[in-house]
Structure 1
């Protein structure tokens, strides 16, 4: 099947499919005319990549998971380790976002939000110096 059909069946845009091929995650056959020729296995790989990316795994993590998926002698501990690292990174990002939210909420609370020009939010963003 051509890239348009592969796109429809996988739910990924052609640009993403080409990118996955460019970074070596996908290697479709080439027809005699040089065009890519995607098969059912390629669609399965594309769906696997789509799902792993939607769960927040990086390209390199998705590559690693894909290699583990293809390895019948894999150890589930290896998959769990990759997943635990992703969870830790997500927890770190959540903490960072919560800290940002607290800082912004404090600034928002200090701002009167009226017609006066004084604004603690802009003062904090601008630092001690004025333009």
Structure 2
């Protein structure tokens, strides 16, 4: 089976410019081309692109995806390296959640104060002076 880039895009839900980008950075192999220079993709490209898309949806960075894809080339190898890559990503996600939680709490505290005039507005005070942030006091 041979697919055009448009067909590959439709089957995987990945936009054509993104497919080209993945080719440029080496996540997706350069496809064979017809005499008219049209890209033609094999079935393996669908599987690989679905893997990349799903990993991106889970927030994996490009370099981690590259490492994971490289590891898929040695199917008899231990899953330990995959586990380690995923643990690093999980820690990054947890750190981001902690930062977002602090951000949410700060914004909630800012809007919880009464609605005085601008000269007394808590939101303006906090935006003008980072030391006024609740998380800066801890």
- 1:43 aligns to 2:37 (yes or no): no
Q: 2:73 aligned with 1:73, yes or no? A: no
CA distance in 1, matches of 2:73, 2:11: 21
Q: In 2, Cα distance between the equivalents of 1:50 and 1:92?
A: 23
* Structural mapping, 1:1-131, within 5 Å: 1-27=3-29, 28-110=31-113, 112-113=114-115, 116-117=117-118, 118-127=120-129
Structure 1: distance between partners of 2:32 and 2:77: 26
**Secondary structure of 1:24 counterpart:** coil
Q: Which moved more, 1:77-86 or 1:25-34?
A: 25-34
Aligned residues: 126
The 1-side partners of 2:23 and 2:92 are apart by 27
User: Equivalent residue of 1:26, what SS?
Assistant: coil
User: Which ranges of structure 2 fall in alignment gaps of 5 or more residues?
Assistant: 131-138
Q: TM-score, normalised by structure 2?
A: 0.84
Structure 1 stretches lacking a partner, 5+ long = none
RMSD of aligned C-alpha atoms?
1.5
User: Residues 23-53 of structure 1: CA distance to partner in whole angstroms, max 9, x if unpaired?
Assistant: 0111212222222111111111100101111
Other structure's SS at 2:35 match: coil
